[in-house]
C-alpha cells in the first residue's frame, strides 16, 4: 500500500491545492487538450519543486465522459507522474469507479475522487435514494475502489454538502475514512454559502467525524464568496482546498488558484495563524503570472485589467501621485513577489511626470513646455478615440513631430 502523500500533508498541517481547471473547468465551456493538461500539471508542480505531489492534486478529468477523455486522463497520469498527484473524478457507480481507477492505475500518488450526493434533494436527483442510502453506497464504493488497487488513493466528494445534514455527513465521513478514504471533500456545489455558514459547516462536521478524518473544501463562486469561504475553511483547520486557474469552473467558477496561492504564501500568518507551517517547500510565486497567461491562451478565458494577482493592471501606473509614490497605492511589490515589472501606461489621467517618463522610455527627453503640450495631446487623443489608453506607437509618432518642430526652431 502506497503512502497517501495528500493525507499525510494535510495531517501535518500543510496546504494541498486540489486543482480543478482541467475537470470542473470544462463546465465553464473550456476544453484542455491532453498535451496541455500534462503541461499545466507539470508547471503547477514546479511551483513547489520536488514537493509538487505533496502540495498539488491535479484533477485530470472525468474518464466516463468519453474514450477521448479517458485517454486524456491516462496521459496525464503517465506523463505528469512525479510532478503532482493525479486524480480521476467519477460518479458514485461501480462502472465509473472501475473506469476511474483504470485511468490512473500504475502512476505514483494516483487518486480517484468519487462524487456522492449528501443532501436529500441532490440524492433524490442523482441516485433516486435518500441521502443516507447514497452515503452508505459511498462507503461500499470506497471499499470497492481500494480493493481494485490499494496503491490508488480514494477520496469522497460529498456533493451539496452546504445543504446537507451536518451530523449525517460527520457520521459517514468517519465511515468512509474507516473504509479507506484519504480525504472527504465537502462541496458547496451551488455556491450559496456565506463565510459564517462555511465556518459552521466545517467546524461541526469535523467535531462529529473524529480526528482521523481529513476534510477538504470545494467552494463555488456564484455569490462571489468562493475565496472568502475557502479562507474560512482554512481557518477551521481544513488543509485541502479546491481551486482552478483563473477561477474556471461551472457557472461562476471556483476560487482562482493564483489568488489562493498568492494569499496563502504572502499573508500566511494572517490567514492560518502565527507559527503555522503550511509548506514542505515554499511556493515560487513568480511562476503564477506565466501559468495564468498560458491557461488564458489555451482556453480563451481573458486576463483583464481588474484580474487580481495576474491581471493586466497589476504593476501598472497611469496617474501622478501613484507614479511618484507607488508603494502607497499597492498592497505588495509586484516585482519582488511576482516578477511583474512596473509599467507606466498613458491614459487621459496622465500627469506631466507620467508623460515625461513614457517619452523617455520611447527615447525622447522633453522640456517642461513639451511635456505640457504632450500631456494635452494625450488627453485630447483619449477623449477623441473614446479609449482611456493611448497607444505607445501612436504617442511616439506625435513625439517625433513635436521634437522635430522644436529642433527646427
Q: Are 206 and 237 in contact (CB under 8 A)?
A: yes
Query: Nearest-CA neighbor of 202 among 173, 244, 243?
Result: 173
If asked whether residues 94 and 228 sit together in one domain, one would say: yes
- Is the residue at 305 inside a domain? no
Q: Give the pLDDT band (50/70/90) at residue 330.
A: confident
Domain that holds residue 61: 5-299
Residue 63 resides in a domain:
yes
Instruction: Tell me how many domains the chain contains.
Output: 2
Task: Specify the higher pLDDT residue, 1 or 9.
Answer: 9
Q: Around Cβ 268, how many Cβ atoms within 10 Å?
A: 18
* Same domain flag for 354 and 295: no
Q: Are residues 56 and 114 in the same domain?
A: yes
The answer on 24 and 95 residing in a single domain is: yes
- Give DSSP secondary structure letters for 227-252: HHHHHHHHHTT--EEEEBGGG-SSTT
Boundary-marking domain end, from 267, 299, 331: 299
Asked whether residue 294 falls in the same domain as residue 360, the answer is: no
Q: Are residues 116 and 49 in the same domain?
A: yes
In angstroms, rounded to a whole number, what is the distance separating the alpha carbons of residues 204 and 31? Answer: 37
Measured over the CA atoms of residue 34, residue 39, residue 40 and residue 46, the dihedral's sign is positive
* Residue-level pLDDT at 406: 55
182 and 45 assigned to the same domain? yes
Query: Is the domain of 393 the same as that of 247?
Result: no
Mean pLDDT within 246-253: 94
Same domain? 186 vs 324: no
pLDDT at 404: 66
363 with 229, same domain: the answer is no
Other CB atoms closer than 10 Å to residue 342's CB: what's the count? 14
Average pLDDT over residues 28-33: 94
Of 241, 267, 299, which residue sits at a domain end? 299
In a domain, 255, yes or no: yes
On whether residue 235 sits in a domain, the answer given is yes
**Of the candidates 65, 114, 113, which has an alpha carbon nearest to the alpha carbon of residue 85?**
113
Q: Using the structure block, give the residue that is written with the C-alpha cell 462571489.
A: 224
d(CA 41, CA 104): 14
Do residues 16 and 91 share a domain?
Answer: yes
Judgement on whether residues 99 and 236 belong to the same structural domain of the protein: yes
Domain assignment present for 111: yes
Domain-located, residue 355: yes
Q: What per-residue confidence (pLDDT) applies to 409?
A: 44
On the CB side of 347, CA atoms within 13 Å amount to: 14
Identify the CATH number of the domain in which residue 292 sits: 3.20.20.70
CB atoms within 10 A of CB 367: 11
pLDDT digit string, tens, across residues 117-171: 999 999 999 999 999 999 999 999 999 999 999 999 999 999 999 999 999 999 9
DSSP element (H, E) containing 18:
strand 16-19
368 within domain boundaries? yes
pTM over 0.75: yes
In-domain check, residue 304: no
Amino acid at each position: 500500500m502506497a503512502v497517501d502523500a495528500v493525507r499525510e500533508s494535510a495531517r501535518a498541517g500543510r496546504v494541498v491545492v486540489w486543482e480543478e481547471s482541467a475537470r470542473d473547468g470544462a463546465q465553464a465551456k473550456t476544453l484542455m487538450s491532453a498535451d496541455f493538461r500534462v503541461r499545466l500539471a507539470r508547471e503547477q508542480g514546479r511551483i513547489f519543486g520536488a514537493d509538487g505531489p505533496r502540495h498539488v492534486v491535479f484533477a485530470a478529468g472525468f474518464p466516463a465522459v468519453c474514450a477521448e477523455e479517458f485517454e486524456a486522463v491516462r496521459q496525464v497520469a503517465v506523463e505528469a507522474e512525479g510532478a503532482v498527484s493525479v486524480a480521476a473524478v467519477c460518479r458514485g457507480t461501480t462502472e465509473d469507479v472501475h473506469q476511474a481507477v483504470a485511468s490512473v492505475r500504475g502512476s505514483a500518488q494516483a487518486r480517484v475522487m468519487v462524487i456522492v450526493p449528501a443532501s436529500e434533494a441532490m440524492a433524490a436527483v442523482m441516485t433516486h435514494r435518500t441521502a443516507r442510502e447514497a452515503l452508505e453506497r459511498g462507503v461500499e464504493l470506497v471499499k470497492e475502489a481500494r480493493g481494485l488497487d490499494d496503491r490508488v488513493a480514494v477520496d469522497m466528494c460529498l456533493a451539496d454538502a452546504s445543504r446537507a445534514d451536518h451530523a449525517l455527513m460527520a457520521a459517514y465521513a468517519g465511515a468512509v475514512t474507516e473504509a479507506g478514504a484519504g480525504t472527504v471533500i465537502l462541496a458547496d456545489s451551488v455556491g450559496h454559502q456565506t463565510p459564517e455558514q462555511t465556518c459552521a459547516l466545517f467546524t461541526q462536521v469535523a467535531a462529529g467525524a473524529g480526528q482521523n478524518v481529513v476534510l477538504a473544501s470545494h467552494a463555488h463562486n456564484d455569490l462571489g464568496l468562493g475565496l472568502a469561504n475557502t479562507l474560512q475553511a482554512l481557518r477551521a483547520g481544513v488543509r485541502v482546498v479546491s481551486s482552478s486557474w483563473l477561477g474556471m469552473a461551472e457557472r461562476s467558477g471556483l476560487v482562482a488558484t493564483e489568488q489562493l496561492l498568492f494569499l496563502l504564501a504572502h499573508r500566511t500568518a494572517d490567514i492560518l495563524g502565527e507559527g503555522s507551517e503550511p509548506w514542505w517547500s515554499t511556493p515560487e510565486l513568480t511562476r503564477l503570472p506565466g501559468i495564468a497567461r498560458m491557461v488564458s491562451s489555451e482556453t480563451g478565458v481573458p486576463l483583464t485589467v481588474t484580474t487580481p494577482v495576474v491581471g493586466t493592471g497589476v504593476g501598472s501606473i497611469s496617474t501622478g501621485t501613484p507614479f511618484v509614490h507607488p508603494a502607497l497605492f499597492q498592497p505588495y511589490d509586484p516585482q519582488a513577489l511576482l516578477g511583474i515589472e512596473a509599467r507606466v501606461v498613458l491614459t487621459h489621467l496622465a500627469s506631466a511626470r507620467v508623460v515625461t517618463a513614457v517619452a523617455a522610455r520611447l527615447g525622447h527627453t522633453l522640456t517642461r513646455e513639451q511635456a505640457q503640450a504632450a500631456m494635452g495631446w494625450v488627453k485630447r487623443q483619449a477623449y477623441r478615440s473614446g479609449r482611456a489608453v493611448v497607444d505607445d506607437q501612436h504617442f511616439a509618432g506625435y513625439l517625433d513631430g513635436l521634437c522635430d518642430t522644436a529642433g527646427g526652431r
